[in-house]
Amino acid sequence: MNDASQIYWEEFWQAQGQEKPKSVSAWQFGVNPDNLAQLVIDGIKSATCSGLIFYEIENVPLPSIEDYSIILNSKDEPLAMIKTVDVKIMPMNEVPEEFAFAEGEGDRTYQYWKEAHEKFFTDELSRHGLTFSDDMILVCERFTLVDIKNA
């Protein structure tokens, strides 16, 4: 976590007057981090997903309920904080329409979600010499917006 994110984390919990959780991560959303972060701030985006394989490749832990994350923009500046409220692991071709809607992207249809994620995962997998299949295992995470920096 960068210095700006650490300062944001510390100042947020100090203002709450309660002990801060021990674990927090800081990261950007997908292909267009600025747009996707704004969707979270605007209350449109309340879910995200990634391929299980990427957690394994990067050797990072899976998200868990009660995890906090600081959402960064494309310049790695903290914009907001979210809290994970649900995590489900499932094949991409079993992701329900309402989850695709909760991701808040494009026209919020399942078709848009499927096409955008298929392209994204195809590109990302190819960087690792892997190929996409529509039953690839996804980590589907739902979250709530906890804070907007300087709001």
- How confident is the model over 133-142, as pLDDT tens digits? 999 999 999 9
Helical ranges in 2-129 per DSSP H? 3-16, 33-41, 52-58, 97-102, 110-126
Q: Where are the domains of the chain?
A: 3-139
Query: Of 21, 33, 57, nearest to 105 (Cα)?
Result: 33
Cα distances (angstroms) measured from residue 8 to each of 2, 53, 62, 64, 92 = 10, 30, 23, 21, 34
Q: Round to whole Å and give the CA distance between 92 and 140.
A: 9
Q: Round to whole Å and give the CA distance between 52 and 134.
A: 13
Is a pLDDT exceeding 70 seen at residue 151? no
pLDDT band at 1 (very low <50, low <70, confident <90, very high): confident
Query: Of 54, 55, 60, nearest to 25 (Cα)?
Result: 60
Express each pLDDT in 84-132 by its tens digit: 999 999 999 999 999 999 999 999 999 999 999 999 999 999 999 999 9
Q: Round to whole Å and give the CA distance between 24 and 58.
A: 17
Is a pLDDT exceeding 70 seen at residue 23? yes
SS3 of 144, please? strand
In the CATH scheme, what is the code of domain 3-139? 3.10.400.10
- Quick one: tokens of 36? 């996707």
Mean pLDDT (the chain) is 94
